[in-house]
Amino acid sequence: MNFRNISVVEARLLLEAQGPGRVQIVDIRDDQSYAHDHIDTAVHLHNSNLQEFIDNADLKAPVLVYCYHGLTSQSAAAYLAEQGFSDTYSLEGGFEAWKHH
pLDDT tens for 59-70 read 999 999 999 999
Return d(Cα 34, Cα 52) in angstroms, integer: 19
What is the architecture, at CATH level 2, of domain 4-99?
3-Layer(aba) Sandwich (3.40)
Q: What is the pLDDT of residues 29-65, one digit of tens each?
A: 999 999 999 999 999 999 999 999 999 999 999 999 9
Cα Rg of the chain (Å, integer): 12
Which of left, alpha, beta for 70 (phi over 0: left; psi -120 to 50: alpha)? left
User: Which helix (DSSP H) or strand (DSSP E) does residue 38 occupy?
Assistant: none
pTM more than 0.85:
yes
| Residue 49 DSSP label | T
Is there a contact between 12 and 92 (Cβ–Cβ < 8 Å)? no
Residue 67 annotated in active site: yes
Q: Where do the domains of the chain lie?
A: 4-99
The residue from 63, 67, 76, 91 that is catalytic is 67
